[in-house]
Amino acid sequence: MNIKATMAAAAEIRKLTILSMASAGYGHIGGSMSICDVLAVLYMDIMNVDPNNSKKADRDWLVLSKGHCGPALYAALAYKGYFPREELMTLNADGTKLPSHCDRLKTNGVDISTGSLGQGISLAAGVALGNRMQCIDSMAYAILGDGELQEGQNWEAFQFIAHWQLNNLVVIIDNNRRQLDGYTKEICDPLDLRSKLMSFGLRVLEANGHDVREIYMVLCKARQSSAAAIQPTAVILNTIKGYGCNFAEIDGFNHYMAVTPQMAVSAIAEIDRKLEERYAFLG
């Protein structure tokens, strides 16, 4: 892992996401910001993918179950080279290839259409089981929001994943502790998420979801653990909703916000400043 390169990728994915939302005038900024770091690690350092052959049979798959945060995935795909970055400025526009929720039939690099929260993990389980049945050596990664874990279908899927020992699937939970209209603890207390996942038969790892080095290490461990054992792995990434975007971090309601060009300019300048500080710290 080249930590500086991955940090730069995370910063660029954030900036591209913000710019695309400023072009549209609005967007699901909070949850998009909280997954930029894991997307950078997945596409820069972890997943076996090829932008020039996006449907290759042995590719690793990414299922973004929290599909309303598609703008962050689009930014990561554009950064990786799946399509020109200029297309990000068509987010949600008429005739766009980048709709609000991910659509595999419209966007190159999107493996699974998502959006109805709680359903993505079932689709990821189907991907993992299907690839196993076809003897395809690949991994599937599913990113879920902690708010969407209130949907019961997730827990049915976890039970299925453990029962069928789908160790070619890694469940990634964006644990930013907030959902559309408040904190998860206040709306429907998730209690001890680690213990719940373990009780459903998953091995559970945990990391700071905004430290690319920690994310890399925990995802490597998840992949190695899965290869060495039959027990599937869940990774809890502790994050902050709106992280890295100055106007979203401080807003009490940052699930979905209006985003102006002026707000984008301010946020991007702050992202660049903080990246330089981190570079200086690393030496």
Q: CA 87, CA 71: separation in Å to the nearest integer?
A: 11
Average pLDDT over residues 44-54: 97
Confidence of residue 32 (pLDDT cuts 50, 70, 90): very high
Tell me the domain boundaries of the chain: 3-282
pTM for the predicted model, two decimal places:
0.95
In this predicted structure, the answer to whether residue 57 has a pLDDT above a threshold of 80 is yes
Q: What is the pLDDT of residue 279?
A: 87
d(CA 146, CA 184): 8
pLDDT at residue 231, as a whole number: 86
Residue 191 region, left (φ>0) first, then alpha (ψ -120 to 50), else beta? left
Can you give the pLDDT at residue 183? 87
Q: How much is the pLDDT for 33? A: 97
Q: How far apart are the first and last CA of the chain?
A: 16
pLDDT more than 90, % of the chain: 83
Name the region of 135 (left: φ>0; alpha: ψ -120 to 50; beta: rest): left
Read off the pLDDT of each residue in 138-161 and give the average, rounded to a whole number. Answer: 96
Mean pLDDT of 258-262: 95
Cβ–Cβ under 8 Å, residues 89 and 124: no
For residues 129 and 283, which has the higher predicted lDDT (pLDDT)?
A: 129
3-class DSSP state of 102: coil
Decide if 208 contacts 238 (C-beta within 8 A). Answer: yes
Give the DSSP per-residue string, 1-34. --HHHHHHHHHHHHHHHHHHHHHHTEE-HHHHHT
Helical spans, DSSP H, in the chain: 3-24, 29-33, 36-41, 70-80, 120-133, 152-163, 184-188, 193-199, 212-228, 246-249, 261-282
Q: CA 269, 145, 31: angle at the middle one, nearest 5?
A: 20
Measure the CA–CA gap between 71 and 268, rounded to whole angstroms: 16
Per-residue model confidence as pLDDT tens digits over 180-216: 888 889 889 889 999 999 999 999 999 999 999 999 9
Mean pLDDT of 260-264: 96
Q: What is the pLDDT of residue 250?
A: 80
pLDDT average, residue stretch 259-268: 96
Contacts 24+ apart (CB under 8 A), 92-95: 92/24, 92/27, 93/24
Q: Give the whole-angstrom CA distance, residue 152 versus residue 157.
A: 9
Whole-angstrom distance, CA of residue 179 vs CA of residue 166: 28
Q: Which fold has domain 3-282?
A: Rossmann fold (3.40.50)
* Higher-confidence position of 115 and 275: 275
Average pLDDT, the chain: 94
H or E element at residue 250: none
